[in-house]
Amino acid sequence: MENDRAAPRRPVRAYARPVRRPLVWAIDVDPDEDRAWIDGEVVRATDVVWDLPVRGTVYGLLLNTVSQWTAFQPKMTRPPYEAPPSHPVLYVKPPNTLLPTGGTVALDPDVDVVAVGVTVGAVFARPVFRATPQMIDAGLLGYVIVGDLFVPHDDFFRPPFRTRARDGFTVLGPWVVDRTAYFPDVLRYRIWIDGREAATGEERWVRPPADVLASVSAFMTLAAGDVLLLGTPYTVPLARPGQSVALEVEGLGRSEFTVGRRGEER
């Protein structure tokens, strides 16, 4: 019957840069159906060549998913720290790591596999400094799906530049969903490798996003275009050269990339 039919999905506002359409910025999208409305045309997101939706500094956050905190908790009380961290634990994903969805991650000769983390990135619309949790939302543009890749390792204490700051290790996009259309209360995700489901799950945050963003802005300015990654699951799948990867985050959409070997890019 007519009343039993599901209500039609309404598009939400997002921000993106399709290649060869440089004037497009604000668009309507249906993240969970992989659709976008560009210049009055409905297109599949995977049929569009996308540029990076943002180009600021990307900061990662360790130990902010329950699974990661639980896994590392026994090590937190050992030397040299001897106690769990009382402030956010950050790392930097520099510009060389940024890759738009649809790109190829070219692994170096010393890297056989790459760990595929997935997370939500909070994108800033204007500079934010010393904002309270109640004020932080006003400084946000929105949220983006991010593939936070790293070389597998078990070193807890050293800064993770060698494992996380390699070329193409931060896959962004395709779009930034407006902050009014998405609330990052939980991370619901799926990961496919070569078309087969490699991981699916739901992650809770150790620190709520607003509290984390306020804590970081207490000692540094988060500039317009900067991205703060909220945390990845502890257990993530591995991908090898020649494989294709797809990531989905409920409410944000789908991102895809391939894994290659440096010097063999087409």
How crowded is the C-beta side of 195, counted as CA atoms within 13 Å? 0
> Token pair of 115, please?
């760990």
Q: Phi and psi of 139, rounded to 5°?
A: -90, -5
Q: What is the pLDDT of residues 6-48, one digit of tens each?
A: 445 689 999 999 987 766 689 999 999 999 998 888 999 999 9
Q: Is residue 5 part of a domain?
A: no
Q: Check residue 2 and give its pLDDT.
A: 40
Q: What is the rounded average pLDDT of the residues 229-255?
A: 97
Q: What is the CATH number of the domain that holds 132?
A: 3.90.850.10
Q: Is residue 15 part of a domain?
A: no
Q: Across-strand partners of 256?
A: 246
Radius of gyration of the chain from its Cα atoms, rounded to whole angstroms: 18
Q: Check residue 5 and give its pLDDT.
A: 44
Q: Check residue 252 and give its pLDDT.
A: 97
Q: Is residue 16 part of a domain?
A: no
Q: How far apart are CA 9 and CA 3, in angstroms?
A: 16
Which of the four pLDDT bands, split at 50, 70 and 90, describes residue 84?
confident
Q: H helices of the chain, where?
A: 66-76, 161-164, 209-217
What percent of the chain has pLDDT above 70? 92
Q: Is residue 26 part of a domain?
A: no
Q: How many domains does the chain have?
A: 1
DSSP 177-238: EETTT---SSEEEEEEETTEEEEEEEE-BSS-HHHHHHHHHTTS-B-TT-EEE----SS--E
Q: Phi and psi of 95, rounded to 5°?
A: -55, -30
Q: Is residue 153 part of a domain?
A: yes
Which of the four pLDDT bands, split at 50, 70 and 90, describes residue 4?
very low
Q: Check residue 248 and give its pLDDT.
A: 97
3-state helix, strand, coil in the chain (%, to 5): 15, 40, 45
Do 101 and 256 meet the contact criterion of CB atoms below 8 Å apart?
A: yes
Q: How far apart are CA 88 and CA 82, in angstroms?
A: 16
Which of the four pLDDT bands, split at 50, 70 and 90, describes residue 265?
low
Q: Is residue 42 part of a domain?
A: no
Q: Is residue 10 part of a domain?
A: no
> Token pair of 90, please?
């950050």
Q: Across-strand partners of 94?
A: none
Q: Is residue 30 part of a domain?
A: no
Q: What is the pLDDT of residues 113-135, one digit of tens each?
A: 999 999 999 999 999 999 999 99
* Residue-number span of the structural domain to which 114 is assigned: 54-261
